[in-house]
Amino acid sequence: MTRIKQLLTKGQASWNLILIGLLVLEFVVFGAANPKFLRPALLFTSINDNLPVFMIALFVTLVMVTGGIDIQVASLVGLTSITIGVAWQDFGFSIWAAVALAVLICIACGAFSGFLIAYCGVQAMVVTLGGSFLYSGIALLISTLSSTESYQGIGGFPEEFKFIASYQVFGAIPFQLLIYVAMFAIAFILLHKTKYGRKVILTGVNAQAAEFSGINSRLVIMSTYVLSAVAAAIAGIVLTAYLGTAKSDLGGSLTMDIITAVVLGGTLSTGGKGSIIGTALASFAIAFLKFGLPLCFKVGTQYLNIPVGILLVAVIVGRSAASSTGYLSMLRTLVSSKVGNGPKVKA
Amino acid sequence: MEAADSQNGTVGRDEARVSYQVPNTLLSVQNIYKSFGSNEVLKGISLDLCESQVLALIGGNGAGKSTLMKIIMGIYSADSGEITIAGKKVDISNPKAALEHSIYMVPQEPMLFPNMTVRENVVIGFDEGASELESRLKSVMAEIGWSLDLDCKASTLSIAEQGMVEILRGLMRNPKVLILDEPTSALTFDEVQSLLACVEELQKKGIGIIYITHRLSEVFEIGTTVAILRDGIVTTQGNVFEFTRDDLVRGLLPEDASVDGATTGDSACEIDYSQEPVLRVRDFSGYGFSDVSFDIYPGEIVGLAGVVGAGRTEMATTIFGRDKVLGGSVTLNGQDITGRKTRQVISMGLNYVPEDRFNDGLYRIRGVAENTTSALLSSSRMGRFFLNSKEEERVSQSYVDRFRTKVTGLDQEVGGLSGGNQQKTVIGRAFSTSPKVVILDEPTRGIDAAARGDVYAVLQELRDTGVSILLISSDMEEIVELSDRALVMYQGRIVQEFGKDQIVQENLTAAAFGVYQADAKAVTD
Amino acid sequence: MGRIKNLLHARSMSSFAFLVILFLVVGLINPAFLTPSNISACFNTSVVYTLVAVGMAFTLFIGEIDVSVGANLGLVAAVVGSMLRDGQSMGLAIIVGVVIGAMIGLINAWGVAVMKAPSLIFTLGVNGVLRGIVYVYTNGAWVENLPKGFKDFSSVTAVGDLTVYYCATIVLVAVIQLLLVRTKRGRYFHAVGDNAQGATLVGLPTRTTKILAYVICGVMAAIGGIIFCSRIGFVTPASGNGYEMKAIAACVLGGISLLGGVGSVVGSAIGAVIMASISYLLVFMGFSSNYDNAITGIILIVIVVVDALLQRRAIVKNRHARLAARVSSGTEVAAAAMEKAQEGGEA
């Protein structure tokens, strides 16, 4: 029991418990309003629809823990998708060679942006903004290499590829969900269990002090952008398989959802603190909110930005208000003593 | 009078000054108290400043000079005490209020807008029309005889020019009180002269000036009155001509320190100087220091004294691989570490406790354990890939126990610790890498007396294990108490070396302020 | 030193030079481009970008950012469009639109300047909420059938082939530029972004300045929304999407630093023209407009990286010069020693 509690609070005291509370609340309210909400098949669908965001958010957490931001990942999803499609359909690559090519291109893109941020000292926001234009532009150009009109999308992928999204383990659990679970485990272990993760965190708290500790903070910062790019590539692969078509503008609107999930998950936008579990819980909370509101309260799907946006604004304002008054530490002490964690002093 | 004259030989100037003194008090602070947490910084400061006075304010680091000035400027508010201006009690709660009372401070680090032109920097914040400001600016500049390119960006100015712009800003406000916080610390010789000339001009106009400095020669050159601050109190105050250099040096020393200086002999153990030195620095040059040579022997504590800006920190961080080496060599245990990366320097056996604890030392929002083991992340002791949390706990717990660090747990955030416990954590980090030499830069700055004793005990204990320590400190008492040998840096060079029996505060202070006179007591080269 | 000084001095000038060279190069490749009507078209199409970018410039001057301008523009466009469609008077519609923009600016100012929330994330949340509100307001439908006069006014020209809108915008930008440079309060924006601590020390009203910057930004986006409505002739619930990123890019192209304190509104206006005309120019150069994003991204990245490297070099050089000045030369030490000897004799 204590072991589980420790795991849950890894990286941040009780924020995760609040997120779990939010999830439980969603299940209770939505479940009561419409029992359909609780059907596993429907829940899995809602998760599947949001999996790219889930996957990318995990690794954007690492970027934001270093104090950076990555708004180019969404464009890499489309780049991956169209690379796979064009390489496979028009250049005669085997589907897996096409996938490997797409991943390599994403790694190069992530490394390029990461290098400019870490070694040239350009702000992450500007570089990844430029990156989002550049990589989505490249994606569009790659799509013009294809004989298929870009708006149609490239389809007809082999079964072995579509298998990624269609196979269900034990006939119930989507295989792509397992990919997410694996990515979650990797991200969790990387950030919380390895020396690398510790370097990421310390660099985010104080890059200067990290240098004085002999940590190569620049390399660490650059590497996080490579990791987030790889996550975007995997998300692009899964999304292409899921939709069955390769398009250059897939994932174009995911940026806000990704940032929201990471920030709501408790990662400090100034860096130095973050939790993979928090990001995962926040992703689920947002996904279920977006799934439950239309299902149970007939809220139009286009309106869903409002509750998500309000959630983001409320959390960020609450957090900065709390950090200036110190009431968050009070709240944390309160919550942690309530759940029997004992009065821990957390500033 | 005679004494002062023989010290600086400016008879005429002193006479002139006396005739200016009208007992018209511009600014008076009474019984100012201020503490930050448990750290009492000001303990009842009272000072007066009259028209045409240049009050030279001197004192060691952490004596409270800057805090006092920030209270006068309304950046901090005092816990108790009063400020009166021209006889009226005033409440200065923010810088705007101070400006309205015609007080202006030229901060130590110029606070210019780097991307604005000089002109914009000077005239910003005024309500008058542009042409009116322009003509006033012209007349002010003509009056003090400076020529500055008003249209160039502030970021392109030298530090001296930036200081001049700050002073211009002050003059444009027609201040009655002008505070100059160590204005010459980064200036070259010529620039200092032109600044001092300017201060004299201002004085003639009846402006009261508080002049904070580290250079005793400047006190005699331009000060009319002098006040010495030590540990939050004014120890000495009066007209400059009443004092000699020795008086001032004495005022900078703690009361209980005998000037003749017997050291606490029991703290030192015998160092075997016939051994090979563990650290050998030869003709080492870099940005901020030049041609530095010294040796450190196994188990030795070598004190490195000097004032802020003397180049000690720059030398230490350059050895540590943080800045470019311009010449010379550093050998550690026979291995050349000149210009190596920080990571390599650490693994070869040298570590550094930074001067700026907050910016270079601490991960404030992380726990004690994470802070302590952060320098171990490059070695395999903390695991190859996975983090060895058992080892992490063992290492950090051992330093918590050994240093008697007060923590509620190893996961307590260090930002919430007291200064002393924070410093113990950083020292623990430096020693966790099993170094042969540790450079400690101002290890007791800003921490209270009890914690200071703890840190000293820790250092003695570590030295007994055979580690060599280079102790950089502006606190002369600390160097006297701990060092087996002491070096003094002044303007980027090592100017003196003192053997154990010559390490007394008087010698150190004099050498650090560049006025050490080699006599019978001192070693001469 | 002088080179950097000049470079900084002429940030917007170099953007302008870049624009001129761009036009000339295109003209060399395809002389058909160099006609007044083509060049005017480049300017005319940039009018909405220009307005949004000029507003954005204010938030960048103070060292913050506002990514809610796209949704702000969309909302104002929808509201103004529907009011005009329903026969409301033009004046009323414009007033309502501007008030909405100002209100959004105030909300952002509250979050950033008063609650001290990180501006990127706060305004991202506000962006989401506003997007949702646009859907609520329009019910997801397009706003069409705008009065013909309103739509046609967008093509009325004032000077040569330049539209009334663009000419009015030029006048507006010029006035704002003069206010910023010539008035005492105009300089506060840059001062606050340049050195907030220094600004407080010389008694500037930092918080009020920040609030004002956000309100101006909101109002400019609103005006952009009204003109968007007139030029495009219809409003979709997704109108204005991505304008925030284009506006930021325009500002960066125009020489504005995201670190605050640097740049001019003229620069952002020129940047907006570059952003808007790239796709138009590509057509004349024989490329498809598919290159649009890739070229934008490359230009953006190259400009910010070069700028960052130059600035860093200047800072390092400055620091080293400062440190070197502290070291006494050998002769000085000798002189000091002599002085000491003399003093010793006197004593």
| String of DSSP letters for B199-219 | HHHHHHTT-EEEEE-S-HHHH
B115 contacts C202? CB cut-off 8 A: no
Q: Which residue has the higher pLDDT, B447 or B460?
A: B460
User: Which residue is closest to A129 within chain C, CA to CA?
Assistant: C245
Q: Which subunits sit against B, judged by 3+ Cβ pairs under 8 A?
A: A, C
pLDDT, one tens digit per residue, over B281-321 is 999 999 989 999 999 999 899 999 987 778 889 999 999 99
* CA separation for the pair A236, A250 (Å, rounded): 8
- Whether residue A339 is predicted with pLDDT greater than 70 in this model: the reply is no
Question: Which amino acid appears at position A165 of this protein?
Answer: A
Q: Is the model more confident about B505 or about C96?
A: C96
Q: Where are the beta strands (DSSP E) in C52-127?
A: none
pLDDT of amino acid A331 = 46
Q: Could you write out the DSSP letters of every residue in A222-269?
A: HHHHHHHHHHHHHHHHHHHHHHS-B-TTTTTT-HHHHHHHHHHTT--T
Does the pLDDT value for residue A343 go beyond 70?
no
Do residues B213 and B229 touch, judged by C-beta distance below 8 A?
no
Task: Judge whether residue C229 has pLDDT over 60.
Answer: yes
pLDDT, tens only, A257-306 = 899 999 989 888 888 889 999 999 999 999 998 888 888 887 777 788 88
Q: Region of B383 please: left (phi>0), alpha (psi -120 to 50) or beta.
A: left
Closest CA to A85 of A249, A207, A255, A316: A249
Return the residue matching tokens 């160092």: B271
Q: Which tokens in the block code for residue A125?
A: 């926001």
> Are the beta carbons of B466 and B299 closer than 8 angstroms?
yes
Structural tokens at position A71 = 């708004």
Give the mutation candidate from A134, A308, A323 for the C interface (greatest C CB count, under 10 A).
A134
B519 and C325 within 8 Å at the Cβ level: the answer is no
- What does the mean pLDDT of chain A come to? 85
Helices A217-243 + A159-166 axis angle, to 10: 100
Residue C267 DSSP SS3: helix
Q: Check pLDDT > 70 for residue B10.
A: no
For the segment B439-460, the average pLDDT, to the nearest whole number, is 81
pTM greater than the 0.90 cutoff:
no
Contacts of residue C347 in chain B, CB cutoff 8 Å? 6, 517
Size of chain C in residues: 347
| DSSP, residue by residue, A37-56 | GG-HHHHHHHHHHHHHHHHH
Q: Hey, is the C-beta of A320 within 8 angstroms of any chain C C-beta?
A: yes
For residue B413, list chain A residues with Cβ-Cβ distance below 8 A.
Answer: 346-347
Q: Which pLDDT value is given to residue A341?
A: 36
Query: Which numeric CATH code is attached to A2-338?
Result: 1.10.3470
CA distance C335 to chain A (A): 38
Nearest CB neighbour to C126, from listed A122, A130, A313:
A313
What mean pLDDT comes out for the span B162-183? 84
Contact C191 B124 (CB under 8 A): yes
What is the per-residue pLDDT across A109-121, written as a single tens digit (0 to 9) for each?
A: 999 999 999 999 8
Chains that touch A (3 or more CB pairs under 8 A): B, C
- Given a cut of 80, whether residue B16 has pLDDT beyond it is no
Element (H, E) at B332: strand B325-332
What are phi and psi for residue B256, nearest 5 degrees? -80, -5
Q: Which helix (H) or strand (E) holds B177?
A: strand B177-181
Domains recognised in chain C with CATH numbers: 2-310 (1.10.3470)
CB contact under 8 A, B387 and A193: yes
Which residues of chain B neighbour C201 with C-beta distances below 8 Å? 73, 75, 95, 105, 107, 111
Closest CA to B425 of B525, B353, B376: B353
Q: Give the per-residue pLDDT at B302.
A: 93
Q: What is the pLDDT of residue B13?
A: 42
Q: Which residues of C touch A129 (CB under 8 A)?
A: 245, 248-249, 252, 300
Q: In this predicted model, what pLDDT tens digit does every residue of B467-483 receive, in sequence order?
A: 999 999 877 888 888 89
B137-141: Cβ within 8 A, 24+ apart: B137/B168, B137/B172, B140/B168, B140/B171, B140/B172, B141/B168
In C, which residues are within 8 Å of B160 by CB distance?
Answer: 325
Determine, for residues C118 and A320 on separate chains, whether the beta-carbon distance falls below 8 Å. Answer: yes
Pick from A298, A306, A313 the residue to mutate for testing the C interface (most C CBs within 10 Å).
A313
Nearest CB among B352, B377, B412 relative to A195 is that of B377
Q: What percent of chain B has pLDDT over 90?
A: 21
CB contact under 8 A, C323 and B288: yes
DSSP B286-331: ETTEEEEEEEE-TT-EEEEE--TTSSHHHHHHHHTTSS-EEEEEEE
Question: Which one of C116, C135, C252 has the shortest CB-CB distance to A303?
Answer: C135
Secondary structure E strands in chain A: 168-169, 173-174
- Check B6 against C262: CB less than 8 A apart: no
Query: What percent of chain A has pLDDT above 90?
Result: 48
| pLDDT tens readout for residues B348-378 | 999 999 988 888 889 988 999 999 999 998 8
pLDDT tier for residue C345 given thresholds of 50, 70 and 90: very low
Q: Which residues contact C318 (CB under 8 A, 6 or more apart)?
A: B155
pLDDT exceeds 80 at position A76: yes
Between chains, do A137 and C133 touch, taking CB under 8 Å as contact? no
Which chain C residues have a beta carbon less than 8 Å from that of A270?
118
- What per-residue confidence (pLDDT) applies to B192? 75
**Token pair for C165:** 């809108």
C-alpha–C-alpha distance, residues B244 and C21, integer Å:
70
Identify the CA nearest to A313 among candidates A263, A257, A258, A262. Answer: A263
pLDDT, residue A324, reads 59
Q: Is C89 helix (H, G, I), strand (E, B) or coil?
A: coil
Residues B187 and B196: their CA atoms lie apart, in Å, by 11
Burial level of A113, CB count in 10 A (0-12/13-18/19+)? buried
Tell me: pLDDT of A17 over 50: yes
Q: Find chain B residues with C-beta within 8 A of A198's C-beta.
A: 370, 374, 377, 387
Mean pLDDT over A70-86 rounds to 94
Q: Say if strands B103-106 and B177-181 run parallel, antiparallel, or are unpaired.
A: parallel
**Which residues, 6 or more positions from C226, have their beta carbon under 8 angstroms from its beta carbon?**
C76, C77, C80, C93, C94, C97
Write the CA distances from C213 to C55, C58, C180, C259, integer angstroms.
Answer: 8, 5, 12, 15
- The letter for the amino acid at A225 is Y
Helices (H), C183-264: 188-194, 196-201, 206-232, 243-253
Put simply, whether A131 touches C (Cβ < 8 Å) is: yes
Q: Which chains touch C (3 or more CB pairs under 8 A)?
A: A, B
pLDDT at B215: 74
Q: With bands split at pLDDT 50, 70 and 90, how would you rate the model's confidence at A5?
A: low
Residue B23 is predicted with a pLDDT of 59
C191 contacts in chain B (CB < 8 Å): 113, 116, 124
CB contact under 8 A, C135 and A302: yes
The rounded percent of chain C whose pLDDT value lies above 70 is 91
Q: Is C228 exposed, middle or buried (0-12, 13-18, 19+ CB in 10 A)?
A: buried
Which pLDDT score, from 0 to 100, does residue A53 have? 94
CB hemisphere CA count around C12 (13 angstroms): 15
- How many beta-carbon pairs under 8 angstroms link A with B? 87
Chain C CB contacts of B96 under 8 Å are 203
Token representation of residue C121: 């994330």
A234-238, A267-271, C108-112: segment of lowest average pLDDT: A267-271
C-facing residues of A in 54-73 (CB < 8 A) are 69
User: What whole-number distance in Å separates Cα of residue B94 and Cα of residue C22?
Assistant: 51
Tokens, residue C200: 């407080």
> A133 at the C interface (CB within 8 A)?
yes
Tell me: pLDDT of A56 over 90: yes
> If interface means Cβ-Cβ distance under 8 Å, which residues of chain C face chain B?
1-2, 4-5, 8-9, 182, 184, 187-188, 190-191, 194-195, 197-204, 261-262, 314, 318-328, 332-333, 336, 340, 343-344, 346-347
Rounded to the nearest angstrom, the minimum Cα separation between B366 and chain A is 8
pLDDT digits (tens, 9 = 90+) for B110-130: 788 888 888 888 888 887 777
The pLDDT assigned to A333 comes to 42
**What per-residue confidence (pLDDT) applies to B168?**
84
pLDDT higher for A333 or C182?
A: C182
- Tell me the C-alpha distance between B115 and B121, whole Å: 9
B491 and C182 within 8 Å at the Cβ level: the answer is: no
8-state DSSP, B65: H
Least Cα distance to A17 among A259, A281, A272, A258 occurs for A281
pLDDT reading at A58 higher than 60:
yes
Q: Band of the pLDDT at C2, cuts 50, 70, 90?
A: very low
DSSP C15: H
Residue C19 CA: distances (Å) to CA of A309, B519, C9, C208, C243: 38, 72, 18, 35, 21
CB atoms near residue B145 (< 10 Å): 10
Cα–Cα dist B443/B434, whole Å: 19
pLDDT tens-digit profile of B179-235? 988 877 666 666 777 778 888 888 888 889 999 887 777 888 888 999 988 888 888
pLDDT of residue B153: 80
Per-residue tokens: C168 = 């009015």
The sign of the dihedral angle between the CA atoms of C49, C51, C54, C55 is negative
Give me the mean pLDDT over the A237-254 stretch: 88
Chains B, C: CB contacts within 8 A come to 122
Q: Which of A202-211, B515-524, C192-201 has the highest mean pLDDT?
A: A202-211
Q: Which residue has the tokens 């669908």?
A: A45
* Neighbouring C-beta atoms of residue A188, cutoff 10 Å: 20
Q: Which of B362, B289, B364, B359 is nearest to B330 (CA)?
A: B289
Domains of chain B in sequence order: 2-110+175-252 (3.40.50.300), 278-512 (3.40.50.300)
Q: Which residue does chain A place closest to C256, by CA atoms?
A: A126
Q: Which of B262-271, C73-82, C149-158, C238-247 is modeled with the greatest confidence?
A: C73-82
pLDDT tier for residue A329 given thresholds of 50, 70 and 90: very low
Distance from CA of B190 to the nearest CA of C (A): 11
CA dist list (Å): A122 to A117, B113, C103, C226, C248: 5, 21, 33, 35, 15
Q: Compute the half-sphere exposure of residue C147: CA atoms within 13 Å on the CB side of its CA.
A: 14
Q: Are the Cβ atoms of C191 and B113 closer than 8 angstroms?
A: yes
Q: CB neighbours of B357 closer than 8 A, spacing ≥ 6?
A: B419, B422, B423, B426, B445, B446
Q: Which residues of C touch B311 (CB under 8 A)?
A: 323, 326-327
**Residue C260 predicted with pLDDT over 70:** yes
A272 touches chain B (CB under 8 A): yes
Residue A124: φ, ψ to 5° = -60, -40
Least Cα distance to C47 among C237, C245, C249, C220 occurs for C220
> Crossing angle of helices C69-85/C243-253, nearest 10°?
120
Q: Give the chain C residue nearest B76 (alpha carbons).
A: C201
Q: Where are the domains of chain A?
A: 2-338
Q: Average the pLDDT over C111-136 and give the result.
A: 91
Mean pLDDT comparison of A152-161, C161-170, C194-203, highest-scoring range: C161-170
This complex has an ipTM of 0.82
The region of weakest confidence among A207-221, B233-247, B275-289, C108-122 is B233-247
